[in-house]
């Protein structure tokens, strides 16, 4: 079997959890500060970027439903029509 990215494909499970947690924190912070809709959803849930420290905190994040996506589309595109 060929290995595409040896560093990531061969790391230990602890290293993988660390990388996943770091990327989750970065994504949550970016979304919180750059997407007003998701910032509001997080604030409604009583969350800030500091609330998510690892992948163990993933369950704290609010779900995005089909209705949520429809609302986002209306908020973004309706004002310009």
pLDDT tens column, 29-48: 999 999 888 999 999 999 99
**Res 81 pLDDT > 80:** no
Residue 14: inside a domain: yes
Those residues with Cβ within 8 angstroms of residue 75's Cβ, 6 or more apart along the chain or in another chain: 37
Do the beta carbons of residue 17 and residue 54 sit within 8 Å?
Answer: yes
69 to 5, 75, 80: CA distances (angstroms): 34, 10, 17
Residue 1: inside a domain: no
CA geometry: angle 28, 32, 33, nearest 5 deg: 125
Number of domain units in the chain = 1
Q: Does pTM surpass 0.85?
A: no
pLDDT tens column, 3-16: 688 888 888 999 99
Residue 25: inside a domain: yes
Extract the tokens encoding 23.
């990327």
Domain membership of residue 54 as a residue range = 6-80
């Amino acid at each position: 079997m060929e290995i595409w990215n040896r560093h990531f494909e061969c790391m230990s499970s602890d290293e993988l959890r660390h990388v996943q947690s770091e990327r989750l924190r970065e994504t949550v912070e970016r979304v919180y500060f750059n997407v007003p809709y998701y910032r509001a959803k997080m604030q409604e849930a009583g969350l800030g970027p500091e609330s998510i420290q690892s992948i163990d905190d993933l369950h704290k994040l609010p779900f995005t439903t089909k209705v949520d996506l429809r609302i986002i589309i209306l908020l973004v595109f309706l004002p310009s029509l």
